A and B are shown apart, each in its own frame.
Chain A
Amino acid sequence: MSYAPRNIDLEPAIADLRNRTLSRLPCAFSRLVYLASSRDLSTGRYSHDGLAFHFSENVASKAMAACHTEIFDWLLFCSLEELVVELRKYISSTEVRPGDVLRSWKHLGSYRVTIPSECDKLAAEIFTSNVKIALEILQTRQESAL
């Protein structure tokens, strides 16, 4: 019974997050990185001041976790071709040189931090593997373009 009010609160919070924040980001990968970086790695809780002000910290965190899961799921099941496009869009949306981003992501494996906390182990492995291959493809394309 205690779950009902929470779920009623959650849907508007998710809609608010989608409409006001996530829709302004250029691609799914940007949204994934944004949500993952809003998460406290020690506690697994997400923070969003605006959302917490309108709803509550708890609801804001849950709404962000739900959106994180949804976007991750989409990227997990999209084709490798789409993932390459998404990654390319994300890299060009950053203010860093694409070559530097590619090198840093490959060496540091920074994309691992974008995996949601409650992620199936094999799903996480599939995602990591796909991103690794997508990064290789993008680097090859970049090298051949030079």
Chain B
Amino acid sequence: MSQWLPYLFLGLLLLAVLAWWVWDAIVHRSTAEVLTPRQNRLSARTVGSQRDLGERIFGTQDWDFVLHEAPSEIQRMFQRERTVLALAWLRRTRIRTSKVMRSHVVAARQSEDVQIVMEIKLALSYLLFLILCKSLIGWVWLCGPIRTRKIVRRTLQWLASQRAAFDRLMAAVDPANHKALETGCDQETAQS
């Protein structure tokens, strides 16, 4: 029996961390933060926002070029640079989705017609998204975007399919915030 105790402890620890993530991401935020994406949505079209920056960061073409054309010093520099960019992109993706989710929570709190089953499904989808996003951040941080590109690509493909389900749920539960998710919540500019 005692041999299972470490595993039990690790399991409980993992659950506690997950619960904290959900609490931190959904509930423990101020209203001011929640309103930010709505204000930013009005901003004009910005450069680089229309195409997939994730594809640009995780694409293999540049790495193949650096691998064949540049010395090892530049290869290491490239990996460092891309790791920073990949982490920034993953964090931004997580933050954008979290902002939409938080504004949904605020809207749901004020609503008198809350559909419990839908809300639970939405929360679970979001929880799964957070776990995957955090795991990817960990993977990329540990191994860099080049070594993890296959796992990142597969996870992103899976996330895209999950996002379709998440979108449907958001559209049914909260059409206003669903629009925010579609158009992209914030357009951070280099000058801001």
Chain A residues with a Cβ under 8 A of chain B: 44, 69, 72-73, 76-77, 79-81, 115-127, 129-130, 132-133, 136-137, 140
Q: A122 and B89: CB pair below 8 A? A: yes
Cβ of B6 under 8 Å from chain A: no
Q: How far is the CA of A72 from the CA of B51 in the complex (A)?
A: 13
B89 to chain A, nearest CB (A): 6
A-B contact pairs, 9 of them (CB 8 A): A80-B61, A118-B191, A119-B191, A120-B46, A121-B192, A125-B84, A126-B48, A129-B82, A130-B62
Chain B residue contacts of A127, Cβ below 8 A: 48
Proximity bits, B70-97, A CB within 8 Å = 1, else 0: 1100100110011011001100100000
Q: B189 and A140: CB pair below 8 A? A: no
A131 to chain B, nearest CB (A): 11
Cβ of B53 under 8 Å from chain A: yes
B62 touches which one: A69, A76, A79, A132 (CB < 8 A)? A79
Chain A residue contacts of B45, Cβ below 8 A: 118
Q: How far is the CA of A51 from the CA of B55 in the complex (A)?
A: 37
Cβ of B112 under 8 Å from chain A: no
